[in-house]
């Protein structure tokens, strides 16, 4: 029996092992997991704020005033405001970006169909080596011919996204879309606040106009009495000069208030995106009562109540996902590729000859960044810089929101104290007016003293209306600082703690 010499088997899979080692070596150059280089604020620094009505302000906070004119103008503004149209367009564009990012996860097939009709006329000239004289040159002219050719094929590719890079791109796009949604809400709350503030300023001007016109009538009566007494030689002419100046001052106040009311009407129309005539006739109404208390969740819930803070939170989420995507760009891209094609040619029409070719194949494809010239590092560091910027904007929005709320609360407290003192002055002026009326009815004084007391009451009434208008404006500003009824219950978690845990792995 013949003996077969023993030959050890050669190790198989050497190239595959080398490829895996090369991939692991190159991916080891990837930067570490997202560094926890940011500490977003988790609480709003508000201290000593009062608590009050829960859930205030609600989504349609302006309807609590029961003013159908205000409701109509805000509805008109929400439909026709250019700012709202721009915010809506940005939101739709962000949504389409999400759809585009998600589509990259799906396989795609590309097809190709082509046809060609050609004309060939070939002449071949040359020299035969070793031939003498004219026999060295030759020319071949097979003649002209017409040809047809056609090809059809399909290429299918599918990125397997083994490392989740494309999923991070989708998450980043979703974050941008949610930020655009919050920015749209911010535009809406700003528009609602500006419309309400301007509308109630117009109402305040109307209330002050009623008082100012009454003061003009009193000044006219006073001027008439002084004029009669000067003509009768009972008073010095300088008294008439003072009455003239007082009447002119009252009439100037009316003109100023009428101009301010007209400007408010024009501003309302501009906010609504319509002409002033489209607002219709606005009826003066008393200023509504002001709610000066804060919701019990004003301190911690402010983060979820402000649309600009919510937008900044989503920007952080999108920036963090961009960092993950930039890091995974160091990893190889693995995809499946399938190709099928068919080619037919008729090189010489009429000869009956043709050529056919069919081919197909399927298999994996791996693309690995071996040398990028610093591009991947620059992309990663750029994504980190965007995250730092998003965190800084978020912290700035939180601090600004806290400052606006605190300022609004202190303004309301100050105005409340001013209103109490102004009420005392108004009560004193009315008491003086009543005493002047009693003395006039008894014939102890003439009408001039009573008219002076009446104009003093009008002055104090106007001062009280100004305090009321400022209080209402401060209340509206506080509503806007609290988010204007916006409330987000699905904000992403701040990723600082999660990033710190991942970095230690």
The CATH number of the domain holding residue 75 is 1.20.1600.10
Which of 338, 391, 344 is closest to 158 using CA atoms? 338
300 pLDDT higher than 80: no
- Whether 30 maps to a domain, the answer reads no
Asked if the structure places residue 409 within a domain, the reply is: yes
pLDDT digits (tens, 9 = 90+) for 376-435: 888 888 888 888 888 888 888 888 888 888 888 888 889 989 999 999 999 999 999 899
Identify whether the C-beta of residue 480 lies closer than 8 Å to the C-beta of residue 193. yes
| Three-state DSSP state, 152 | strand
Asked if residue 122 belongs to a domain, the reply is no
Distance CA 211, CA 213 (A): 6
Q: Counting Cβ atoms within 10 Å, is residue 157 exposed (0-12), middle (13-18) or buried (19+)?
A: middle
Domain-embedded: residue 221: yes
Per-residue burial over 254-280, b if 16 or more Cβ lie within 10 Å, else e, is beebeebbeebbebbbbbbbbeeeebe
> What pLDDT shows up at residue 16?
53
137 DSSP β-pair partners: 127
Query: Length of the chain in residues, anyone?
Result: 505
Predicted confidence at residue 293, as pLDDT, reads 63
The per-residue pLDDT of the chain, averaged, comes to 81
With cut-offs at 50, 70 and 90, classify the pLDDT of residue 266.
very high
- Structure token digits, residue 173: 């796009």
- Tokens 């000593």 map to which residue? 48
Q: How many CB atoms are closer than 10 A to CB 504?
A: 7
Give the distance from CA 437 to its chain's centroid. 60
pLDDT of 379: 87
What mean pLDDT is predicted for residues 102-109? 89
- Asked whether residue 261 carries a pLDDT value surpassing 50, the answer given is yes
Residue 337 belongs to some domain of the structure:
yes
Position 20 in a domain = no
Residue position matching structure tokens 């400022």 = 470
Tell me how many domains the chain contains: 1
Q: Is residue 458 part of a domain?
A: yes
**CA distances in angstroms from 149 to 15, 158, 221, 342, 349, listed in the order given:** 41, 30, 106, 11, 11
333: pLDDT strictly greater than 70? yes
pLDDT at 81 over 60: yes
- Note the pLDDT tens digit of each residue in 60-78: 889 989 999 999 999 999 8
pLDDT of 296 higher than 90 = no
- Residue 383 structural domain: 41-117+145-503
- φ/ψ of 146, rounded to 5, equals -110, 145
Confidence tier at 367 by pLDDT (50, 70, 90): confident
Mean pLDDT of 210-225: 93
Would 280 be classed as within a structural domain? Answer: yes
State the virtual CA torsion across 160, 164, 168, 173 in degrees, nearest 10: 20
| Residue labelled with tokens 């003061």 | 215
Instruction: Flag whether pLDDT at 464 surpasses 70.
Output: yes
| 347 within 8 A of 353, measured Cβ to Cβ | yes
């Amino acid at each position: 029996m013949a003996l077969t010499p023993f030959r050890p088997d050669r190790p198989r899979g050497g190239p595959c092992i080398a490829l895996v080692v090369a991939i692991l070596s190159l991916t080891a150059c990837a930067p570490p997991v997202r560094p926890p280089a940011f500490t977003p604020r988790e609480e709003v620094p508000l201290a000593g704020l009062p608590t009050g009505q829960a859930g205030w302000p609600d989504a349609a906070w302006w309807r609590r005033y029961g003013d159908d004119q205000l409701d109509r103008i805000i509805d008109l503004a929400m439909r026709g405001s250019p700012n709202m149209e721009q915010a809506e367009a940005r939101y739709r564009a962000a949504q389409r970006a999400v759809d585009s990012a998600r589509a990259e996860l799906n396989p795609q097939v590309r097809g190709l169909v082509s046809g060609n009709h050609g004309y060939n006329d070939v002449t071949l000239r040359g020299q035969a080596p070793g031939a003498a004289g004219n026999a060295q040159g030759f020319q071949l002219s097979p003649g002209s011919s017409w040809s047809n050719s056609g090809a059809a094929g399909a290429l299918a590719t599918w990125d397997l996204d083994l490392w989740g890079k494309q999923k991070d791109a989708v998450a980043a796009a979703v974050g941008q879309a949610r930020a655009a949604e919050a920015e749209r809400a911010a535009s809406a709350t700003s528009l609602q606040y500006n419309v309400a503030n301007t509308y109630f300023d117009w109402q305040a001007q109307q209330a002050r106009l009623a008082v100012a016109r009454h003061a003009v009538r009193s000044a006219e009566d006073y001027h008439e009495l002084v004029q009669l007494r000067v003509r009768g030689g009972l008073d010095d002419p300088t008294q008439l000069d003072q009455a003239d100046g007082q009447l002119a001052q009252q009439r100037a106040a009316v003109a100023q208030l009428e101009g301010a009311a007209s400007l408010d009407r024009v501003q309302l129309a501009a906010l609504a995106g319509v002409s002033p005539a489209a607002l219709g006739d606005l009826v003066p109404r008393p200023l509504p009562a002001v709610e000066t208390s804060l919701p019990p969740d004003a301190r911690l819930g402010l983060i979820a109540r402000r649309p600009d803070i919510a937008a900044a939170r989503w920007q952080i989420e999108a920036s963090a996902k961009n960092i993950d995507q930039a890091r995974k760009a160091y990893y190889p891209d693995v995809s499946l590729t399938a190709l099928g094609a068919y080619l037919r040619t008729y090189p010489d029409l009429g000869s009956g000859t043709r050529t056919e070719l069919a081919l197909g194949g399927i298999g994996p494809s791996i693309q690995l960044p071996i040398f990028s010239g610093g591009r991947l590092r620059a992309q990663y560091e750029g994504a980190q810089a965007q995250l730092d910027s998003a965190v800084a904007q978020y912290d700035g929005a939180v601090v600004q929101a806290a400052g606006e709320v605190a300022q609004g609360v202190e303004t309301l407290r100050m105005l409340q104290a001013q209103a109490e003192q102004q009420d005392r002055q108004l009560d004193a002026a009315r008491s003086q007016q009543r005493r002047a009326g009693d003395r006039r009815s008894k014939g102890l004084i003439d009408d001039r003293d009573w008219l002076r007391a009446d104009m003093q009451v009008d002055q104090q009434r106007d001062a009280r209306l100004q305090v009321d208008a400022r209080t209402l404006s401060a209340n509206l500003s506080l509503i806007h600082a609290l988010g204007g009824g916006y409330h987000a219950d699905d904000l992403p978690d701040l990723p600082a703690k999660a990033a710190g845990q991942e970095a230690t792995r």
